Amino acid sequence: MTGQLGSEICRMLGPIAVPLPRRVADLNQPSVVATAIEQLRPDAVINCAGWTAVDDAEAAPTECHAINTLAVGEIAKACNNIDATLVQMSTDYVFGADKNRSNPFSETDTPGPLSVYGFSKLAGEEAATTANRHLVIRTSGLYSAGEAGIVRGRNFADTMLSLANDHDVLRVVGDQQCTPSYVPHVAKGVLELLMLGRRGIFHVVNNNSTTWHGFANELFRLAEKTNSVAKITTDEYPTAAERPLYSVLATEKFGSTTGSPLPDWKVGLREYVQARNAQNVGSGETKCTQYS
């Protein structure tokens, strides 16, 4: 188990969690995964695995669909065979086709993906609903400090801090509105819904929204980085897969169900920097200054 969210959920659950190693949880071989599930007979299966390389999916739609959609259907069948709940992770990228959108998407809004990845995740949601007991979680822009420090490419926050070591000025897209979400907060939210026995689709993201440019600026402020962050448009940073200009997820349903929404995204980012500082102190590195 090496993914950010899956690892955090296992950490929170402790000894009652049974993480499947990659050799068993290979979604290219869904029958192997299904067999493992039926042998273990858990009360719930939390599927955090999937194809997450958004741009690469454009050149490999069949492979992406097999992992994000077909494999989910097989897992759903296995869950039905043992009467287990399937918790399927999804994404804000199931939205984006509405180019005039300016208010958060609710769970009942009609999806409209823009990319192969987005379509595969939407189809994966539909496959998950074939499980008699299912919980579909849409989240966005996951990041965490992890236990290995900064790893460029693992998540946006890590990548920005890594790039800051090599560049005085970083160019960051400033016209994509979303909600980057701190993994420990999301993991806690997922488990709350599971323990409450909820079913259906829920949006589990930090509260309020920003752009990637706004996120990077706040990250550097908290980490006391002096790098400049230049705002650019999506058109100035072309990618193989089209990104939503607006994919903010509404969280009222989650808040009313659990009693409170997840913290503001700035709170999550502050906790991320604090977690990194704790790691740095333990390793003897210089601690970053904190600002509230």
Per-domain residue ranges of the chain: 4-282
What would you report as the CA-atom Rg of the chain, rounded to the nearest whole angstrom?
19
Print burial letters for 3-23: b (CB count within 10 Å at least 16), e (below 16). bbbbbbbbeeeeeeeebbeee
Q: Which amino acids are annotated catalytic? A: 117
91 by DSSP, 3-state: which? Answer: strand
pLDDT of 151 = 60
pLDDT of residue 149: 59
- Give the 3-state secondary structure percentages of the chain, helix then strand then coil, rounded to 5: 45, 15, 40
What SS3 class is residue 78?
Answer: helix
Q: How far apart are CA 139 and CA 88, in angstroms?
A: 11
What is the per-residue pLDDT for 148? 60
The correct answer on CATH 3.40.50.720 for the domain covering 4-282 is: yes
pLDDT at res. 279: 80
Tokens 């490999």 belong to: 60
pTM (two decimals):
0.92
3-state secondary structure at position 291? coil
pLDDT tens track of the chain, all 292 residues?
558 999 999 999 999 999 988 777 889 999 999 999 999 999 999 999 999 999 999 999 999 999 999 999 999 999 999 999 999 999 999 999 999 999 999 999 999 999 999 999 999 999 999 999 999 999 999 999 976 656 655 899 999 999 999 999 999 999 999 999 999 999 999 999 999 999 999 999 999 999 999 999 999 999 999 999 999 999 999 999 999 999 999 999 999 999 999 999 999 999 999 998 888 755 544 444 333 2
Phi, psi of 59 (to 5 degrees): -95, -5
Residues 48, 3: contact at Cβ < 8 Å?
yes
Amino acid identity, residue 90? S
Which residues, listed in sequence order, are joined to residue 137 by a DSSP beta bridge?
89, 202
Q: Can you name the residues that pair with 23 across neighbouring β-strands?
A: none
Question: Which pLDDT does position 2 carry in this prediction?
Answer: 59
The answer to whether 191 and 198 are in contact (CB under 8 A) is: no
